[in-house]
């Protein structure tokens, strides 16, 4: 029994940072994201009674580091008594470098595993299962703008806007392709335990979500820009003030932020957001994309530029 799924990574505009239940991987805060179009991860899962243990190939190479989390994801979707699986994952962008690769990888794995096991689930169920593997992956079950609500004993997801109704563009400035030193899962726990700013981060999140939701509903780019940058910089302040401190930026990250500031002063509709890595994602209106690409590619230290529109939800593409 075999199935293949494709998922696009998503970028949070209002960030998830911190867990309220580590065992069930429940986030401490809600979050709002956009799903991308040109970046993707394709995962195929083959359940095979003859296999002695799970095998994971990432971009063609056997990967032991991620195997435990992938096996746990399969246990959750297919059941612990399942046949072992051969899992092959292929991404068209650098992985584990702050480009949200875990969101697309776990979303695609969840959809492919449910497909291979012939398990019928609705999108909300798939999102909850993807979210228990990696919080951000839940959002890639939705295209366009998605919100993850931290509701009661579980998470609930909803679509805030479809792909076409507000076609924002995303310009990603890659400043470093090496894997990050501390993964998000571990880093957010360090923040929860040690950052003096963690409590106020959690307290203020609902307000940031309200402002962003209203900005998306009203297609108010300036309001979305202000709240998304504020929320991103607050998350990084929490990280910086943790012990040990976690600083994911390099000097090119800072220069890209200055480039975005300069563009804003010139009247360009653009804002930045940065996750647990040194890459800068500049979100802009379509008519400003050319200027944003030019300015960021001329920024010293930028190694590569990737551009994307908003993309679709994770989906099954083959089953046999
Ligand atoms: C900074 O979803 O990777 O990208 O649930 O532990 O797998 P786990 O964490 P993960 O964290 C993403 C953190 C972030 C912000 C975001 O995407 O909301």
Please write the tens of the pLDDT for every residue from 274-290.
999 999 999 999 999 99
Residue owning the nearest CA to atom 1 of ligand 1:
275
Could you identify the atom of ligand 1 that is nearest to the CA of residue 14?
A: 18
* Predicted pLDDT of residue 97: 62
* Predicted pLDDT of residue 152: 83
Longest pairwise C-alpha distance within the chain: 63
Residue owning the nearest CA to atom 6 of ligand 1:
185
Please write the tens of the pLDDT for every residue from 136-184.
999 999 999 999 998 888 999 999 999 999 999 999 999 998 876 789 9
Instruction: With a cut of 80, say whether residue 100 has pLDDT above it.
Output: no
Peptide linkage before 244 cis (omega within 30 of 0) = yes
Tokens 């709002």: give the residue.
Answer: 32
Q: Which of 24, 132, 134, 135 to mutate to test the pocket of ligand 1 (most atoms within 8 A of CB)?
A: 135
Helix/strand/coil for 6: strand
Q: In terms of DSSP H, where are the helices of the chain?
A: 67-78, 101-116, 123-133, 184-194, 198-217, 221-240, 251-265, 289-297
> What phi and psi, each to the nearest 5 degrees, are found at residue 276?
-80, 65
Please write the tens of the pLDDT for every residue from 214-242.
999 999 999 999 999 999 999 999 999 99
Task: Please report how the helices 101-116 and 123-133 are oriented relative to each other, as an axis angle in degrees rounded to 10.
Answer: 120
Q: What is the pTM of this model?
A: 0.97
CB 214 within 8 A of CB 221: no
Banded model confidence at residue 98, pLDDT cuts 50, 70, 90: low
d(CA 271, CA 24): 33
Residue owning the nearest CA to atom 12 of ligand 1:
136
**Quick one: tokens of 39?**
């970046």
- For residue 114, count other CB atoms closer than 10 A to its CB: 22
Indicate whether residue 37 lines ligand 1 (CB < 6 A). no
Indicate whether residue 275 lines ligand 1 (CB < 6 A). yes
CB 188 within 8 A of CB 22: no
**107 alpha carbon to ligand 1 midpoint, in Å?**
13
- Which of 98-107, 190-199, 255-264 has the least mean pLDDT? 98-107
Burial class of residue 297, CB neighbours in 10 A (0-12, 13-18, 19+): middle
> What phi and psi, each to the nearest 5 degrees, are found at residue 252?
-70, -30
For the CA atoms of the chain, what is the radius of gyration?
A: 19
Banded model confidence at residue 96, pLDDT cuts 50, 70, 90: low
* Predicted pLDDT of residue 101: 77
85 backbone φψ class: left, alpha, beta (φ>0; ψ -120 to 50): beta
Q: Which of 147, 184, 237 to mutate to test the pocket of ligand 1 (most atoms within 8 A of CB)?
A: 184
* Listed residue (243, 248, 290, 253) closest to 269, CA to CA: 290
């Amino acid at each position: 029994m075999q199935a293949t799924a494709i998922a696009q990574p998503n970028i949070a505009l209002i960030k998830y940072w911190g867990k309220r239940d580590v065992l069930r991987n429940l986030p401490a805060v809600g979050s709002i994201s956009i799903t991308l179009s040109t970046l993707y991860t394709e995962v195929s899962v083959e359940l095979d009674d003859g296999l002695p243990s799970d095998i994971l190939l990432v971009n063609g190479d056997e990967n032991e580091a991620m195997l435990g989390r992938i096996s746990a994801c399969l246990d959750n979707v297919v059941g612990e008594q399942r046949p072992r699986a051969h899992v092959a994952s292929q991404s068209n962008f650098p992985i584990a470098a702050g480009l949200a690769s875990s969101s697309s990888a776990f979303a695609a794995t969840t959809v492919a595993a449910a497909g291979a096991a012939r398990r019928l689930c609705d999108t909300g169920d798939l999102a909850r299962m993807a979210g228990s593997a990696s919080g951000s992956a839940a959002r890639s079950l939705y295209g366009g703008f998605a919100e993850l609500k931290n509701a009661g004993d579980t998470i609930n997801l909803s679509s805030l806007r479809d792909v076409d109704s507000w076609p924002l563009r995303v310009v990603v400035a890659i400043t470093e392709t090496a894997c990050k030193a501390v993964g998000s899962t571990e880093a957010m726990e360090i923040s929860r335990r040690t950052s003096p700013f963690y409590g106020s981060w959690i307290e203020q999140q609902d307000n940031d979500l309200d402002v962003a939701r209203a900005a998306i509903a009203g297609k108010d780019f300036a309001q979305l820009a202000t709240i998304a940058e504020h929320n991103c910089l607050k998350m990084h302040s929490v990280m910086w003030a943790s012990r040990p401190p976690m600083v994911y930026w390099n000097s090119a990250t800072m220069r890209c932020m200055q480039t975005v500031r300069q563009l804003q002063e010139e009247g360009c509709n653009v804002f930045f957001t940065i996750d647990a890595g040194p890459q800068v994602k500049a979100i802009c209106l379509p008519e400003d994309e050319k200027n944003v690409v030019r300015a960021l590619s001329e920024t010293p230290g930028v190694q590569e530029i990737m551009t994307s529109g908003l993309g679709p939800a994770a989906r099954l593409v083959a089953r046999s």
